[in-house]
Amino acid sequence: DVKVTQSSRYLVKRTGEKVFLECVQDMDHENMFWYRQDPGLGLRLIYFSYDVKMKEKGDIPEGYSVSREKKERFSLILESASTNQTSMYLCASTSGPAEKPQHFGDGTRLSIL
Amino acid sequence: AQTVTQSQPEMSVQEAETVTLSCTYDTSESNYYLFWYKQPPSRQMILVIRQEAYKQQNATENRFSVNFQKAAKSFSLKISDSQLGDTAMYFCAFEGGGSNYKLTFGKGTLLTVNP
């Protein structure tokens, strides 16, 4: 089974801090994604990566950046955390065509105080 | 841009009964994929069922089936013989044919199965 591991289930940070959320997948998937999940808004795509060092903006990239130095690891970075970035963050990966679905991690509940 | 609409924020059903969750979408593409994902209270999102737009036959996975109406851009999920373990958030999602596998999600429907 594919395993997508997010480094933290719960994280509390302070306004202005630089925050790193880490995601690792163990199935050699080319494509990795970061979503933000908020009640009543569903999942919104922040950034995705289709290869090492390749990234593209999703629908809500403002205030975020990403890093993909190795194929298995995709990091989401909050450059200067703000309270409106308090949310659930989900990482996902897929090997390609839609016959193979996206596999999700357990999520990180991030609180910015 | 594609949009996905789930018009039922919350639904409930009695155990063993059948329930249908609605989803509509908007796209100008002819080749695309549709998904239903389930997120139980433990939070890990898992795939329930998928449908390729070019296939006329509705997808079925055990107790889960879809009613795909391409002309109406409708993609509803039917759960038969509902079980307590079906209690979850259900998300409808769209993937365009040339989208680099990006998914556009609806806002979700919280389904509660009552004993």
- CA B86 to CA B56: how far, in whole Å? 27
The CATH number that domain B3-114 falls under is 2.60.40.10
For the stretch A12-46, pLDDT in tens is 999 999 999 999 999 899 899 999 999 889 999 99
Q: CATH topology for A4-97+102-106?
A: Immunoglobulin-like (2.60.40)
CB nearest B91 (choices: A43, A88, A105):
A43
B99 pLDDT tier (thresholds 50, 70, 90): low
CB nearest A98 (choices: B95, B104, B106):
B95
- CA B22 to CA B100: how far, in whole Å? 26
Give the residue extent of every domain in chain B.
3-114
Which chain A residue has its CA at the smallest distance from B96's CA?
A98
Whether residue A11 contacts residue A76, with contact meaning beta carbons closer than 8 Å, is answered with no
pLDDT at A96: 73
CB atoms A106 and B43 under 8 Å: yes
Residues of A with CB under 8 A from a CB of B: 31, 33, 35, 40-45, 48, 50, 56, 58, 88, 90, 92, 94, 96-99, 101-102, 104-107
State both tokens at A24: 């690792």
